[in-house]
Amino acid sequence: MLKKTLHISSSPHIKKGPSTDTIMKNVVWALMPVVFFSIYSFGLNALLVILTATLASVLTEHILCKLSKKETTIADYSAVITGLLLGLTLPPSFPLWMAFVGGVIGIALGKYVFGGLGYNVFNPALVARAVLQAAFPVAITTWHPAFLSDRFSTISQSVFTWPFMQPQFDAISGATPLSAFKFDGITTPTLELAFGQISGSTGETCAIIIALGGLYLIARNMMSWRIPVAVLLSAFVLSGALYLINSDIYPSPFFMLFSGGLMLGAVFMATDMVSSPITPIGLWIYGSIIGILTIVIRLWSGLPEGVMYSILLTNAISPHIDNVIRYRVYGTNRKTKVA
């Protein structure tokens, strides 16, 4: 007869969770299908841009650690994630020297100046993307067609532009789905958006693959499901309400969900553990603000896309969200200051 044994041990009973580098490594694995589909869509151009941004991020982190006489932190994979995410926000034919500058800015300005991993206020990849958009507005809004027949045998001449020289773009596509809607009133079919059959940034690929990467991290308990759900749900509700009010002016909520960088931002950027709140209610508020701001910027600003700015703006108020809705300590009221 099988006997059951009850094991009794002293505290602590809470075991150690996954380490930082383990979590970051899993985020890299979750991003790999997105990267591979991007390369499949745009060929060698996307491969070189993503590699350059990632290499620049890793090298910058290593050099800054050495200059400050600290042990290098490139083994925690955080710099790799910054480089991958930055590369996925850039056009496929983006000049490599600009992508390299972006990687340096993402680590130096977006992360290291705040004290390194765990102290950055803003998402480093989006800080780099914002600076690049301000510095190189033409290059970062010039798009390359997807699924060209020669994408694995030829490279756009703009990719190898010398530093500070004017890039020469070839095979320029008309517009991204968001630009086509914003300036021409043309909407792209939902299935084409969901399966990445469009032009745009290297990360504006298959929304289904991005969502699957997020589900993998949620299943491994390495991502809060509340943030992406709040972002996508708030964007869907607001755009859906506007669509019901006037479908001739406003696009369908499915177009808003699957177009642009909303899916990538909701799953892999807004969920940055450092720059997002820590309380469950705070996560819902944080994600909802991002979703609403994205729709507002897309519809009523001069820009076709609003994911980057909505996340950066909400990063800035993230600490205040936690402060406003902080938990009440047992035996006190919310106004009581706890030492």
Task: Give pLDDT, residue 185.
Answer: 82
Give the model's pLDDT for residue 3: 60
- Quote the CA–CA distance of 184 and 279 in Å, as a whole number: 42
Please, what is the Cα angle at 25 between 264 and 316, to 5 degrees?
Answer: 50
Report pLDDT for 338.
Answer: 47
Check residue 178 and give its pLDDT: 86
Stated pTM of the model:
0.89
Model pLDDT, residue 335 = 58
> What's the pLDDT score for residue 115?
83
Q: pLDDT value at position 145?
A: 84
User: How far is Cα 99 from Cα 180, in angstroms, rounded to an integer?
Assistant: 25
Digits of tens for pLDDT over the chain (339 positions)?
556 666 665 545 555 667 778 889 999 999 999 999 999 999 999 999 999 999 999 999 999 999 988 888 888 899 999 999 999 999 999 999 999 999 999 999 999 888 877 788 999 999 999 999 999 998 998 888 888 888 899 998 889 999 988 887 765 665 788 888 888 888 888 888 888 888 888 888 788 999 999 999 999 988 989 999 999 999 999 999 999 999 989 999 999 999 989 999 999 999 988 888 988 999 999 999 999 999 999 999 888 899 999 999 999 999 889 888 776 666 666 555 544
Residue 274 has a pLDDT of 86
Q: Can you give the pLDDT at residue 199?
A: 80
pLDDT at position 333 is 62
